[in-house]
Amino acid sequence: MSDLVTGDAVVLDVSPAQLPIRAAALLVDLAVQAATVIGVLLLVARTATVTDDSLATALTILFIVLVFVGYPVLAETLTRGRSLGKLALGLRVVSEDGGPVMFRQSLFRALAGFVEIYLLTGGPAVISSLLSAKGKRLGDVFAGTMVISERGPRRTAPPPEMPPLLAAWAARIELSRLPEDLIHTARQYLARLPELSPAVQQEMGTRIAAQTAAFVSPPPPPGVPPYAYLSAVLAERRRRHLERLTRRAEARRASAQQVPPYAAPHLAPVHTAAPYTAVSSTAAPAGPHPAVPGPASAGPHPAAVSTGPAGGPRPPA
């Protein structure tokens, strides 16, 4: 790990790229450059039949220099420090203060790299990288840059704690308009507060607190130090965020308990009519059979005549 101090005196945690990873990224870039050079040579060989040899040689040298110098300059300028090889391995070229690399710096790096890497077979670049604490080659030293790894581990500072005297005030402040970049700046300031001088602590704290106060209302009580004010704002924001996450998790659990993952549909019972059975003349039902009305002129239906215990007809009452 290494520390970069920005122009605002904010210390950033960065991981300088190690020599093997930079060599692997260089191999990827060399493969791209070699393919481009081969294509250029084939094009020049076809045009050599209509031009003289001196012009063909001059065009070849010009194109080779443009490929090996112009490619890193163009790639790092347009992508803010990431060529194809660096993009594949998670590397980036930055200024010494952590800012994006500029065109002038990329040009210095490319010109120095053409000499120390291609003409001198990489010997000076390897020696300089091994002797530098930040892994700088000669091009980085001349240009004021360094190569960092964006996939390396980062140190995480503990979250800021709520000052007890500001807890009641922080519980009723409005934080919805607070921008993320300002939150990140305040968090970095509080994380590096013990490493800053008292003058820098006061100057930076006052400036960041004034920027934060433009998005937070109501204002804090009078006489609150900047670091305490920022700690209260960040701690309250974190508390509200955790509460929202907790409510969402409880709502999901409650909905999962109320609605089972699979329930068989309830089917109403189907009532079917009993099949028609003819009444036997020898066997009668045990109880009285309901009379089935028939035509008025036809008289009583045979099934309406009940039988006695001996099987004969029962006299009417």
Asked if 111 and 198 sit in the same domain, the reply is no
Q: Tell me if 190 is assigned to some domain.
A: yes
CA distances from 206 to 203, 212, 236, 291 (A): 5, 10, 20, 104
Structural domain includes residue 142:
yes
Please choose, from the candidates 164, 171, 161, the residue with its C-alpha nearest in 3D space to the C-alpha of residue 218: 171
Indicate whether 203 belongs to any domain.
Answer: yes
Contact status, residue 29 vs residue 162, Cβ threshold 8 Å: no
In a domain, 297, yes or no: no
The answer to whether 11 touches 1, Cβ cutoff 8 Å, is no
Q: Considering the domain boundaries, does residue 8 fall inside one?
A: yes
Write down how long the chain is.
Answer: 317
**Segment 225-246, tens digit of pLDDT:** 999 999 999 999 999 999 999 9
pLDDT averaged per 10 residues, the chain (length 317): 47 74 92 89 74 77 87 90 91 84 92 90 90 90 90 67 93 90 88 85 92 93 92 93 91 81 51 45 46 46 46 50
What pLDDT was estimated at residue 280?
44
Residue 178: inside a domain: yes
- Does one domain contain both 55 and 113? yes
Residue-level pLDDT at 51: 66
Output the CA angle 33-35-40, nearest 5 degrees.
Answer: 90
d(CA 172, CA 179): 19
In this structure, are residues 4 and 96 in contact, taking their beta carbons and an 8 Å threshold? yes
Q: Which of 216, 239, 257 is the last residue of a domain?
A: 257
Residues 143 and 170 in one domain: no
- Asked if residue 15 and residue 114 are part of one domain, the reply reads yes
Q: Are residues 58 and 144 in the same domain?
A: yes
CA–CA dist 4, 10 (Å, integer): 8
- Please check whether residues 212 and 240 belong to one and the same domain: yes
Looking at 241, 257, 273, the residue that finishes a domain is 257
Residues 140 and 38 occupy one common structural domain:
yes
Rounded distance between C-alpha atoms, residue 187 and residue 63, angstroms: 49
Residue 23, domain extent:
2-149
Q: Is residue 240 part of a domain?
A: yes
**Residue 161 Ramachandran class (φ > 0 left, ψ -120 to 50 alpha, else beta):** beta
pLDDT of 56: 77
Q: Taking the model in full, what pTM does it have?
A: 0.48
Q: What's the number of domains the chain is made of?
A: 2
Pair 52, 130 in one domain? yes
CA 21 to chain centre: 25
- Taking only the tens place, the pLDDT of each residue in 213-230 is 999 999 999 999 999 999
Indicate if the alpha-carbon torsion angle 136, 137, 142, 148 is positive or negative.
Answer: negative
Yes or no: say if 95 and 136 are a contact pair by the CB < 8 Å rule: no
Pick the last residue of a domain from 149, 182, 207: 149
Return the axis-axis angle of helices 19-47 and 71-78, rounded to nearest 10°.
120
Share of the chain above pLDDT 90, in %: 38
Q: Judge if 116 and 245 occupy the same domain.
A: no
Residue 226 lies in a domain: yes
Instruction: Tell me, yes or no, whether 132 and 47 share the same domain.
Output: yes
What pLDDT shows up at residue 276? 39
Q: Same domain, yes or no, for 178 and 96? A: no
Calpha distance 147→82 (Å, rounded): 10
pLDDT given for residue 295 in this prediction:
46
In terms of Cβ atoms closer than 10 Å to its own Cβ (0-12, 13-18, 19+), residue 315 is: exposed
Same domain, 100 and 208: no
Round to whole Å and give the CA distance between 94 and 27: 20
